[in-house]
Structure 1
Amino acid sequence: MTDWSRDWNPSEEYLTDGVPSGVVAEVERPATELAALGPESVRVGRPTDREGGLREFDFLGDRGFIDFPPAPRHERVYVCYVCDITWYG
């Protein structure tokens, strides 16, 4: 377990406007798990050929994905900044 946390940026309200609450919960779950990984979160998701930068992670059985940048300097995974939530319904 790490001291990393997760955060919404921009706000949760902005990012989740019109997204069903169950989908929001499915975004929060991997975001919490990514924060628990701490510095290892720079290797999770796509792209697979390099570490760091903007990462992409599927959720809900490939029915959506989140983009997130792990921020080792801040010890935080920004749940949007997660940057974007794409849900195919």
Structure 2
Amino acid sequence: MSWFTMPLVLAVFAISVPASAWAAEARALSGDDMEIRDNTLIKPGHYRLPDAGDDGAIRITGNDITVDFQGAELDGSSEGQQPDAFTGRGIVIRG
């Protein structure tokens, strides 16, 4: 292997390794009290997730976890609610 092809091989390896750590397909946000325990891709879209229990609509539990929203929008308010009236927690992270 020449000195020229070695960086190319290493670059391809570096790109392919992180991909194996992701879930097979993107997940839609399912609703209040969703728990994420590993690397997750979220399906793009607009999600309205009110937090009924005031304990976090989404809980991310663990260490070294990446959640990629891929441009998804997370909205925890009621339709038409003013931002200065928002209460509760949107995302709880423990690790």
Settle same-fold status: TM greater than 0.5. no
Structure number having the greater helix percentage: 1
Give the TM-score band, short-chain normalised: under 0.3
Higher strand share: 1
State the TM-score, normalized to the length of structure 1.
Answer: 0.25
Q: TM-score, normalised by structure 2?
A: 0.24
